[in-house]
Chain A
Amino acid sequence: MFELFLDIFAYRDNFWTRMDPGAKLAMALSAIAVILLSSRAVLPLSVFCLCFACMLWIGVPVRLIAVRLTAPMGIVAVLALLKAFLPAPPGSSVLWSGTLYGWKLAATHEGLREGLLIGAKVLGAVGAMLFLSTVTPAHRIFHVLRRFRIPQGWIEVAMLMYRFTFVLVEHASEGSAAQRLRLGYSGIRRSVSSAGMLAGSVILRSFDQARSTHDAMVLRGYKGSFPFGEESAPRRQDLYGAAAVITVLLIFYSALEWRIFS
């Protein structure tokens, strides 16, 4: 019911999970950057295929990937349609035109093509992001952010949120199941009131949890900031690997943009 992030894959042991999280983050971010800059659909689509293949390789079910992709693809479909129907620069070739409820509509080739390009970009970028998250636990990504000079306070809050989301989700889903079993969601008015109570109880629970967690932290020597320990240096082969992947991406991108092959 609560779609919780499924992160069991990130804790498996395989080639990708062993890789330094910083290297993985750098690769994912540069892939996304190149995709955003790209003016042709080939590059985003090939990045997507590559990530998709890698996810299948480490055993992520296709269904899960598909579920994750529906949301972004939904927006893309709307945007692509809007792009297709909105006024395009003069000189565009008209694909279809007509009136609807008094609105004059015209779909242009250019608009549709742009819409589809956005679709490809979303597919590629989301693919890269999903692949990163299926092979890297969130807390390791947060750890790596220290290397990129993200303030400690942000990382501490992020770590606590990540950990306690799982605790509170249990509370919330039990609460909502209990409400459902007593017909708390029959009818709109009752649903609204049940949801409000559930939200309130999650907030109260979070308050109590914060207090007892703080007690537990103090008892183990907490003095106002989290000790993160030393950062393990990235393995050399990971850095070289990441550098190689990024170079290939850049070459591929430049070749496509300046049409070296065609």
Chain B
Amino acid sequence: MKRERAIDAAGVSFTYEEGTKALKNVDFWADRGQFVAMLASNGSGKTTLIKVLVGLLKPQEGRVLVGGRELSAIGAKGLYQEVGLVFQNPDDQLFGATVEEDVAFGPRNLGLEEAEVSARVAESLSAVNALELRKRAVHHLSFGEKKRVALAGVLSMHPSTLILDEPTASLDPAGEALMLHLLNRLNREKGMTVILATHSVDMLPLFVDCIFVLNRGEVLRRGPAEEIFCDHELIRQAGLRLPYISHLLYEMKRYDGVPINGLPLTIGEARKRLLELIPEELIASRLETKGQ
């Protein structure tokens, strides 16, 4: 059975007024409930594609379907309850003076009752572990907190699809892990479709169902993480790199002849593959010495 597509762009081309061809015949889609990543180097048209997907830019060619309907046929109100966009720079999107006021902006625009608005604020803030920030002033927040509040502001619109432009850029390692964990939770528990543009290849294989590799306005390849990262030429061409753990194992395999099975992308998998290579007696004797 074919799954329903949450967002579906076909043959999209976009040229800026000054003549820059930002997108050339791009096909991009995400099935409902999928976790999709857009891997792209800087200047590859990623932000333009995102703007096209949410209707901020109108492509000269191609069509964009959201929830099976043509973008232009859905009114703004319907569209923004369908797709939400989290900007790269949280300051672009936080315009309320306090966290509460900012998160309430969307629900109030939907014309909801104050009680419902307040409930949505609480719900969205707790979805990003930021309920305690509710009364704080936006300009007193740290960068990571701003990122999470910006996400909450979008969640309060109850979109079924979430698009994030570099959600982990400039975050510290703990902040990056937290952000991806939150997104994964939204995806698994609430069934939200998550699309993110990112460079953080190390964490990605843990979550994603599908990766699009974008370069110079074109989609170079689409596929699951295992497939994408096996193609070294593709990765190099797109200005990306392998996850560090895969890189290490790849070099061990290639230059040291270590017979590793496949190319693990995550730490957990790498551990399993390495353990396969170590004789069982060795492990047993190590455990014994440790036990004594």
Contacts and interface: CB of A to CB of B under 8 A. Distances in A.
Nearest to B156: A220
Interface in B125-160: 135-140, 153-154, 157
A170 to B, nearest CB: 9
B2 to A, nearest CB: 29
Interface stretch (B99-107, B202-210, B250-258, B275-283): B99-107
A139 B97 contact: yes
B91 interface: yes
Contacts of A174: none
Contact of A216 (B93, B104, B140): B93
Contacts of B227: none
Contacts of A164: 95
Contacts of B139: 163, 166-167
Contacts of A163: 94-97, 138-139
Contacts of A213: 92-93, 95
A220 B96 contact: no
A220 B56 CA distance: 12
A213 B105 CA distance: 13
Interface stretch (B8-16, B28-36, B80-88, B241-249): B80-88
B5 interface: no
A11 B114 contact: no
B109 A222 contact: yes
B97 A227 contact: no
A243 interface: no
B117 A221 contact: no
Which secondary structure characterizes the binding site on chain B? helix
Interface residues of A, number: 30
Contacts of A236: none
Contact of A8 (B97, B101, B140): B140
B98 interface: yes
A12 to B, nearest CB: 11
Contact of B157 (A166, A167, A221): A221
Interface string A200-227: 0000000001001101111111110011
Closest 3 CB pairs of A and B: A221-B109, A139-B97, A227-B108
Interface of B: 51, 54, 56, 76-77, 80, 84-85, 87, 89, 91-98, 101, 104-106, 108-110, 114, 117, 135-140, 153-154, 157
18 contacts: A137-B137, A139-B97, A163-B95, A163-B96, A164-B95, A166-B139, A212-B92, A213-B92, A216-B92, A216-B95, A217-B95, A219-B56, A219-B80, A220-B154, A221-B106, A222-B105, A228-B108, A230-B114
